[in-house]
Amino acid sequence: MFTSIINYFRRPVIIVTLANDDNDGLDLDEEEEGIENALKRAVIRKQVKLDCVHSARYKDIHKRLRVHENRVCIYHFAGHSNGSSILFEDQKGDGDSLAERIGMEKNIKLVFLNGCSNKAQLKYFFAAGIDAIIATNSKVHDEDAINLSKEFYIALSNGSTIEQAFKKAKTFVNGKSRNKEKIDKRNLRDIPDEGIKEEEIEEIAETKTDMPKEKKTNEDSETKANLLEEKTEENAETRGLGIKKNAFPWGLYPNPNKNVRLDWKLPPPSWQIQFFVLFPLVFSVIVGLATQSSKTPTVTLCIKEPNVEVFLKKEKGVLEISGKTNKSGCVEFKFQKGWELGDSMRATWEDANYNEPFKLRNDTIPLK
């Protein structure tokens, strides 16, 4: 219970740093807005705190880590990167040093490097003890990077684990990026084959009849590859130097040096935490009141005569109750409705020679 109370006041934090050189074509404003909208419900429910730093400088990440020390669960970078560093507004951030600093956070669960060709940095973050990293093995399109981060945090906000959220985002981006060219250029509702048509390739090849056969074959292969490249990457904005975009560039990599389970998810909404924190307290109060009310006060009268029926009533009342004495000559009576401590009472029994009033109390009262 005490852990839940502490967690309620110390919500986990997602730090997002976005760094964008002027006129480089990246739409990091859209990514920031997308992440904020994706996590809006979780923030309102006090499941997580979101801290976005736009035009981030190298020192900004260190500052935010100090502010949210040991509360950071995810660090997200959006911008340019390569195999050894990520680019902030003022300088390159060395991957090794950055990983070492982030690894000092006790509750860090994921580092999300949403830039180009940064998979080589995995070794730094694994060495720093970080559980999992999302990284890329090639250049990435800006639009795909934006969509991936949006869908990932939407799924996370809806209760998915890190692994589930990544798979859902990957499925979305794969489908969207594979179909967007055909939707733009062919405005059809069927599902045509990917790439250019074979007859287009043959037509191009026939124009090269003057070449030797071996040279023509090599030229045709090169032409086909170039045309395919133009079809898929024409006018694409990227986040760094890259290689061909063939496979899905992002990957979710668990730390091989640790027994990592990618089942972490955001904590429950604050009202659930409050319920589980306060319920035991409320329940104990209710049980206490019920127990207290069930313990009706009693008065025990002792006349030192066993098996004698004794009658008890308020001195100025009408209600009269009776009971037989036990072997010790005592009989117990529960307080009746309208009886209060201090009331003047009278007790009578067969052959009674005692008729003096006495004050009602939750105790044993000798009458002889």
State pLDDT tens for residues 20-61: 755 567 899 999 999 999 999 999 999 999 999 999 999 999
- Average pLDDT rounded to a whole number, residues 96-116: 96
My answer on whether 86 and 60 are in the same domain is: yes
Residues 230 and 246 in one domain: no
Kindly state the average pLDDT of the residues 134-157: 95
Neighbours of 4 (CB within 10 A): 16
Residue 57 shares a structural domain with residue 143: yes
Please check whether residue 123 lies inside any domain of the structure: yes
Considering the entire predicted model, what is its pTM?
Answer: 0.60
Is residue 279 in some structural domain?
Answer: no
If you average pLDDT over residues 153-176, what whole number do you get? 95
Q: Residue 289: inside a domain, yes or no?
A: no
**Domain-embedded: residue 286:** no
How many domains does the chain contain in total?
A: 3
pLDDT band of residue 228 (cuts 50, 70, 90) is: very low
As a whole number of angstroms, the distance between CA 323 and CA 336 comes to 14
145 and 183, same structural domain? Answer: yes
In a domain, 46, yes or no: yes
One domain for residues 188 and 225: no
Is the CB of residue 124 less than 8 Å from the CB of residue 96? yes
Specify whether 190 is located in the same domain as 208.
no
In single-letter form, the type of residue at position 215 comes to: K
Write out the residue range of the structural domain in which residue 226 sits: 204-235
Confidence of residue 89 (pLDDT cuts 50, 70, 90): confident
Show contacts of 51-55: CB within 8 Å, 24+ apart.
51/13, 51/14, 51/15, 51/16, 52/16, 52/17, 52/18, 53/15, 53/16, 53/17, 53/18, 54/18, 54/28, 54/29, 55/18, 55/19, 55/20, 55/89
- Structure tokens of 103? 């690894």
Q: What are phi and psi of 257, to 5 degrees?
A: -90, -5
